[in-house]
Amino acid sequence: MRKKRLVWNTTTSLVYQLVTIICGLILPRLILNGFGSEVNGLVNSIKQFLTVISFLELGVGAVVQSALYKPLSENDTVKLSQIVTSANIFFRKIAFILAVYIVGLLVFYPKIVNAKFGYVYTDILIIAISIGSLVQYYFGIVDMLFLNAAQRGYVQYIPQSISIILNTLISYIMIRYGASIQAIKFVSSLIYLVRPIVLRIYIRKHYSLNYHEKYSAEPISQKWNGVAQHIAAIVLDSTDVIVLSTFSTLANVSIYSVYYLVVSGVKQLFMSLTNGFQSLIGELWARREIDELNRIFGWFEWLIHTGTVFFFGCTGILMLPFVQVYTKGITDANYIQPFFAALITIANAGHCLRLPYNIMILSGGHYKQTQSNYIIAAVVNIIISVIAVNTWGLVGVAIGTLIAMFYQTVWMAIYDSKNLIKWPLRNFIKQCFVDFLTVVIASLITSQLKLTSIEYISWLILAIKTAVVWIIVIWLINLVFYNDKIRHIMSKIGISVVKER
């Protein structure tokens, strides 16, 4: 059953991320063509300011999911109902605060952003974009956390994928027929209201949860101990756009959003392959199946590092050519930023490299013990980004993210080694050396490949050549340093081929 759910979660999550990436590339391009770089920058800036509201979640979401692992493994319906009830009460308070925050944005945001748009234009856009956030925090987020903890994340990925496709089609039609950006975003918010309704129907049908279960003692014992982790996550994801919105221009926000669209898409696509692992590792930790946990963690670390090197190695080579093709014909801003492209790619690769160590900390419930790491990373990112943005602009905010990510990844690996599964630090050091060696060799080879024309077909041919080279280099180097894992994979492939015949 574990394996079946892992496959379902991984597959549907992968499909969802592919849909997100494809539609996420189509829609901004339509907005750029239809409304220009400043409107695109305004939309992305507002989205980022609304993302910051999840700051108020204070990490409770991660703690709720961790708290659910044990009662789920024991099939303790009463305890599950108490946790869900407590979480719902908390998030309804967040929904109220979100409404107040949105009112504040309506008053102050037009003053903060240096743009030509008036109050009415900007405020209507804020309202249109914020509707979906309100509904999610009112009754959608707890159901999502419950399904993730129950290893049934696939239930939410399917309606999410359908919603994204539908939103892209309707937005395309509306843009083509001259609808305003406010009307387009308002319709988008209405489409996304469907997902939380579907999740609630599914849970009521398959689980006997009481959303109004009474309790005397707080069922989420570490409710406030995930604060630092959550703050760091929000800061690392949101600081760059907020700093650019405040201290730079909306044109720079638009440039940043195009590059971030690519690296974020790659990051989310890659992370979708790991979505089933957190609940699996959480269950193994709750049951104290340490030997099996160590075996799975060993594979998990290797797969994450190897996958990150491949995905982001190819991204680093293909990013600039893709942006050249994607922004062809857009002349109101300079989208060709090679140094920024390299830094933002490395920074987001660091986010993925830390996944196995971060997931182990979350699964182990070590929130309070690891707060200092998250706080320091958040502060470092903010300080460096604010100082550097005036001198180096886009590059400055990327440097802040990169340094914070590097610090956090190393710290987490050391912490896990000493305090959780006692994973030897030499394994981490060896893995990082292999990563570095692979990146250097593959980059030297693929940097010689060039885009022959500014067309998608030319970029696709370049992407295929690049991917083939990176796969060969990764395979050969890992055959030397991780011979056992490569041979195991080859044997599995061999077995599959034999069965098919």
Three-state secondary structure call for residue 482: coil
CA–CA distance, 497 with 213 (Å, rounded to integer): 52
Residues 451, 455, 461, 463: is their CA dihedral positive or negative? Answer: positive
What pLDDT, on the 0 to 100 scale, is given for residue 459? 92
Query: pLDDT tens across 363-390, in order?
Result: 777 777 777 787 888 888 888 888 887 7
pLDDT at 133 > cutoff 50: yes
Q: Report the range out of 62-71, 318-327, 374-383, 459-468 with the highest average pLDDT.
A: 459-468
Query: pLDDT tens across 285-317, in order?
Result: 777 777 777 788 888 889 889 999 999 999 999
Band of residue 136 on the pLDDT scale cut at 50, 70, 90:
low
Q: What value does the mean pLDDT take over residues 267-290?
A: 72
pLDDT at 115 > cutoff 70: no
**What is the overall mean pLDDT for the chain?**
81
What pLDDT, on the 0 to 100 scale, is given for residue 465? 94
Q: What value does the mean pLDDT take over residues 146-154?
A: 81
Q: What value does the mean pLDDT take over residues 242-255?
A: 72
Query: pLDDT tens across 386-425, in order?
Result: 888 777 777 888 888 888 888 888 888 888 888 777 777 8
Residues 477, 472, 474, 293: is their CA dihedral positive or negative? Answer: negative
Band of residue 227 on the pLDDT scale cut at 50, 70, 90:
low
pLDDT at 58 > cutoff 60: no
What pLDDT, on the 0 to 100 scale, is given for residue 468? 95
What pLDDT, on the 0 to 100 scale, is given for residue 236? 64
Q: What value does the mean pLDDT take over residues 131-146?
A: 76
Three-state secondary structure call for residue 398: helix
What pLDDT, on the 0 to 100 scale, is given for residue 496? 47
CA–CA distance, 146 with 226 (Å, rounded to integer): 17
Q: What value does the mean pLDDT take over residues 82-104?
A: 84
pTM of structure: 0.65
* 8 Å CB contact between 25 and 291: no
Out of 86-90, 259-263, 329-333, 461-465, least confident range: 329-333
pLDDT at 479 > cutoff 50: yes
What pLDDT, on the 0 to 100 scale, is given for residue 75? 82
Query: pLDDT tens across 17-48, in order?
Result: 788 888 888 888 888 888 887 788 788 778 87
Q: What value does the mean pLDDT take over residues 221-227?
A: 59
Query: pLDDT tens across 336-367, in order?
Result: 888 888 888 888 888 888 888 888 887 777 77
CB-count burial class (<10 Å; 0-12, 13-18, 19+) for 493: exposed
Could you give the percent of the chain with pLDDT greater than 90? Answer: 12
* 8 Å CB contact between 62 and 223: no
pLDDT at 185 > cutoff 60: yes
CA–CA distance, 292 with 297 (Å, rounded to integer): 8
What pLDDT, on the 0 to 100 scale, is given for residue 433? 94
Band of residue 195 on the pLDDT scale cut at 50, 70, 90:
confident
Task: State the greatest distance between any 2 C-alpha atoms of the chain, in Å, as a whole number.
Answer: 69
DSSP class of residue 452 equals S
